[in-house]
Structure formats: C-alpha cells, structure tokens
C-alpha cells in the first residue's frame, strides 16, 4: 500500500476573461495549496477493476469520482491491466471551492506513477491531468501558481508570505456549473493579476491582502447570504483581507498573528461546521 496527500487549494485571484467557442471560460487565476489534506491510499489488485472507498457519503464510489477517472485514464494510457484500490480519507469539505475532487485526481496520478513505477515527469502528469478537469493540472505540483487558459497553462510564481489561513465553509454546497452559468464578463470588477504577482514577488503581505479578488464571489454571495455573513464575522474579528475561494462557498482570510487567527477561528466556530486554521504549502 502506498499513500499520497491531496491538499486543498485557495484562490488568491480568480478572473474570467471571456467564454470560448469550446464552451470553457478563459481564466486567469492565482492559486495556492494549503495544508488541509485528503489522505489517499493506493493498492494493486490482481483483477482489472478500479475500487474507490471512502467513508464520506458525499464522495462517489464510481466513475463519477475524479480519482476513479484519473485511475482509468492512467491505466489506459500506460497499458496497465492490473486493478487498483483507492482509499480516500476525506478531510477537504466537498463542493466547497477548494478543489477537493481535482486534488484527489492529481494525487491519484502521482500515486499510480509511484505504485506502477512508470516514472512519468510532472509535465507528463499535467498533460494527463488536463483530460480530467481544469483544476487538476494545478494540483499535480501545487504551491503558488498562475493558471491561465482554462486552468491548464501554469506558471510557478512567488509563494504566499508566511501566514495563517483561516478557512470557513458555510453548511451548503455550491455547483461550479451553476455559478459559471451566471458569469457576465462586462459586469465584473476584474482582479489586477499583475499587481498580485508583484505583491507576492515583494512578499508584501498587506499588498497581497489588498489584491485578493474573485469575480465569482458576488454571484455566489447573491445565491447564499451565509457567505456575506461569514465575511462580516471575519472582518469584525479583525481579518485584513477576506475572499471566497473558487466558485465558493468557502471563505478564507490571511492572518500574520497567531492570536488574531485564533480570534477569527473562535468567532466562526459556532456559526459554521467546517472551520480550519492552516498554512500555505510550497510546490513539490
Ligand atoms: P472545484 O473548486 O474544483 O470546483 P469543489 O471543491 O467545489 O471543486 P469538489 O469537492 O471537487 O468541489 O466536489 C464537487 C462534486 O464532485 C461533488 O459534489 C462530488 O459529487 C463530485 N466528486 C467527484 N470526485 C470527487 C472526490 N474525489 N471528492 C469529492 N467530490 C468528488
């Protein structure tokens, strides 16, 4: 048996430039992985089958699971006829905007590459990842990256300055598709992606907080008022910059002082079920 960690990601920026002819949206996103992980295990089976096991009832145990799809693709492309058993100890909230499913898929590609000793490079794994979903290539290496195109064009950039990331997920799930359906590029307050890259280069914590911006936030907030309530609680507790991640509904803030991180955590604990204090991760 072999193990892999599948970390969650947060968006520092998320911009939608336009809708493409192929139906995807052209995006510009800065994302970073954090130390909130699903723990995954991989085991070879003698017979040609993919088995997915998870105790979380929201995680599909069939071909709808992105980890299943990753295993299927990997086996087909590598001509592997043995089966594989995938265990998912789910720690990342589901349908949260934290790319839990995408990260499980990426971890599956990394895990099977080790399990079957196929020695694929990160670039080759990213090319496979692109066939599974737009956020999966980013999750292969993680760290802080700029993702362009539909998310598959990746550039590693300076990482987040050291800080605590307080994450809170309201007790609702959001469908990414439903949010993107409402995107109107002309009506958006677009992030200054270049200014965020410069703030990261300068390790300017306040600059990073000032540039946090996600064009999907007003759309999801409009659907679920709980998100605005969490943002307000965080701000009241002294949070310097608060943003929704991905298509939501998860909200986070970046904090430098441990005492402040604790204060924000405590102000949210009774209000929503899933609250975490974590750190950003470096890329592998
Ligand atoms: P993103 O930020 O990439 O849009 P998300 O964090 O909002 O993703 P996920 O947690 O990946 O959302 O789950 C969205 C849906 O995908 C779930 O409702 C579930 O049915 C399905 N799904 C497929 N594979 C997985 C997986 N490995 N873990 C969790 N959900 C999965």
Q: What is the pLDDT of residues 14-45, one digit of tens each?
A: 999 999 999 889 999 999 999 999 999 999 99
Q: Which residue has the tokens 């905007």?
A: 97
CA nearest 234: which of 179, 164, 281? 164
Annotated binding residue 97: yes
- For 200, the token pair is 């990261």
- Predicted local confidence at residue 13, as pLDDT: 98
Q: Which residue has the tokens 């204060």?
A: 263
CB of 256 closer than 8 Å to CB of 239:
no
> For ligand 1, is residue 67 a contact (CB within 6 Å)?
yes
State the Cα–Cα distance between residues 174 and 59, nearest whole angstrom.
Answer: 15
- For 78, the token pair is 């590598």
- Predicted local confidence at residue 97, as pLDDT: 94
> For ligand 1, is residue 267 a contact (CB within 6 Å)?
no
- Predicted local confidence at residue 44, as pLDDT: 98
Of the candidate CATH numbers 2.60.40.3880, 3.30.230.10, 1.20.81.30, 3.30.420.40, the domain formed by 2-156 belongs to 3.30.230.10
Residue limits of CATH 3.30.70.890 in the chain: 164-279
- Predicted local confidence at residue 173, as pLDDT: 84
> For ligand 1, is residue 64 a contact (CB within 6 Å)?
yes
Q: What residue's CA is closest to ligand 1, atom 18?
A: 95
Annotated binding residue 70: no
> What is the 8-class DSSP label of residue 11?
E
Q: Which regions of the chain are under pLDDT 70?
A: none
* Ligand 1 mean position, distance from CA 60 (Å): 9
- Longest Cα–Cα distance in the chain: 56
State the Cα–Cα distance between residues 113 and 3, nearest whole angstrom.
Answer: 12
> What is the 8-class DSSP label of residue 182?
T
Helix (H, G, I), strand (E, B) or coil at 160: coil
Helix (H, G, I), strand (E, B) or coil at 134: coil
* Ligand 1 mean position, distance from CA 278 (Å): 20
Helix (H, G, I), strand (E, B) or coil at 268: helix
State the Cα–Cα distance between residues 7 and 279, nearest whole angstrom.
Answer: 11
Residue limits of CATH 3.30.230.10 in the chain: 2-156
* Residues involved in catalysis: 9, 135
Note the ipTM here.
0.95
CATH of domain 164-279: 3.30.70.890
Residues in the chain: 284
pTM: 0.95
Find the angle CA(254)-CA(283)-CA(2) to the nearest 5 degrees: 115
State the Cα–Cα distance between residues 73 and 65, nearest whole angstrom.
Answer: 13
- Predicted local confidence at residue 65, as pLDDT: 98
> What is the 8-class DSSP label of residue 187?
G
């Amino acid at each position: 048996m072999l193990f892999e960690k599948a970390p969650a990601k947060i968006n520092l920026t998320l911009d939608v430039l336009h809708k493409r002819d192929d139906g995807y949206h052209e995006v510009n996103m800065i994302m970073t992985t954090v130390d909130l992980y699903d723990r995954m295990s991989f085991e070879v089976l003698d017979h040609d089958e993919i088995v997915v096991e998870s105790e979380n009832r929201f995680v599909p145990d069939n071909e709808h699971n992105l980890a299943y799809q990753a295993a299927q693709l990997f086996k087909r492309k590598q001509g592997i006829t043995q089966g594989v058993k995938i265990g998912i100890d789910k720690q990342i909230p589901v349908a949260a905007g934290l790319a839990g499913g995408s990260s499980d898929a990426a971890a599956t590609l990394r895990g099977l590459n080790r399990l079957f000793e196929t020695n694929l490079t990160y670039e080759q794994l990213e090319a496979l990842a692109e066939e599974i979903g737009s956020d999966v290539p980013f999750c292969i290496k993680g760290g802080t990256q700029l993702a362009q195109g539909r998310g598959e064009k990746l550039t590693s950039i300076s990482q987040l300055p050291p800080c605590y990331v307080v994450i809170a997920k309201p007790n609702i799930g959001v469908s990414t598709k439903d949010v993107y359906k409402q995107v109107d590029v002309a009506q958006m307050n677009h992030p200054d992606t270049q200014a965020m890259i410069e703030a990261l280069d300068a390790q300017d914590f306040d600059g990073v907080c000032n540039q946090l911006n996600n064009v999907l936030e007003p759309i999801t907030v409009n659907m679920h008022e709980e998100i605005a309530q969490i943002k307000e609680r965080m701000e009241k507790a002294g949070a310097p910059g608060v943003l929704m991640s991905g298509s939501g509904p998860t909200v986070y803030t970046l904090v430098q002082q441990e005492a402040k991180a604790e204060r924000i955590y405590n102000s949210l604990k009774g209000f929503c079920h899933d609250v975490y204090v974590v750190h950003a991760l470096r890329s592998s």
